[in-house]
Amino acid sequence: MSDILRLVEPMIPALRRYARALLRDVTAADDLVQDCLERVISRWHQRRRDGDARTWVFAILHNLAVNRLRQTARRGAHVSLDDADEMVFARAPTQEDALMRRDIVAALARLPEEQRSVLLLVSVEDLSYAQAAEVLGIPIGTVMSRLARARERLRQLLEGEDATAARPGAHLRRIK
């Protein structure tokens, strides 16, 4: 039990950040982290002793999030007015930093889930490409290509470029 506390407890803030970014709902993210920690504790004996505990825990969180997103897509989101946070009804902030954060979160939401997951794991949670590949169960090369595409798409969204418009010098030629 002391191993769990020593290894897992420092990860909780990062798990909460990653869960909030994936689900975009504070309450659901906290529930997801709780489910993840329950699973980590109940299956602690199943982890590989020579493996990275951080990668293992993030893989559990990621898999639970994917399952929850699929379930929400099937059932649809439900929020009662009594459970809604008061901030949902508040006006958007006028400060420039808050607007930029909102734009970034909105741009992240427009990324495909595969690209968003890689971008968050590598850029926000500071996992290596190898660790992100292990968490997502994909090859390192796929992590690198998804990350490059995610960064480029995020740049386009934040600069207001239309992703479907051809970029200068990127013309397709027609050969008969």
Could you say which residues of the chain have pLDDT below 50? 163-166
75-94 pLDDT tens trace: 866 667 777 777 666 665 56
Fold classified for 1-77: Rna Polymerase Sigma Factor; Chain: A (1.10.1740)
Query: Does the reported pTM lie above 0.85?
Result: no
The length of the chain, given as a count of residues: 176
For the chain, residues classed under CATH 1.10.1740.10 are: 1-77
93-161 under CATH 1.10.10.10, yes or no = yes
For the chain, residues classed under CATH 1.10.10.10 are: 93-161
Buried b / exposed e over 65-101, threshold 16 CB at 10 Å, is beebeeeeeeeeeeeeeeeeeeeeeeeeeeeeeeeee
- Rounded Cα distance between 56 and 15, Å, is 12
The answer for residues whose C-beta is within 8 angstroms of residue 119's C-beta and 6 or more apart is 108, 111, 146, 147, 150, 151, 154
51-80 pLDDT tens trace: 788 999 999 999 999 998 888 888 866 667
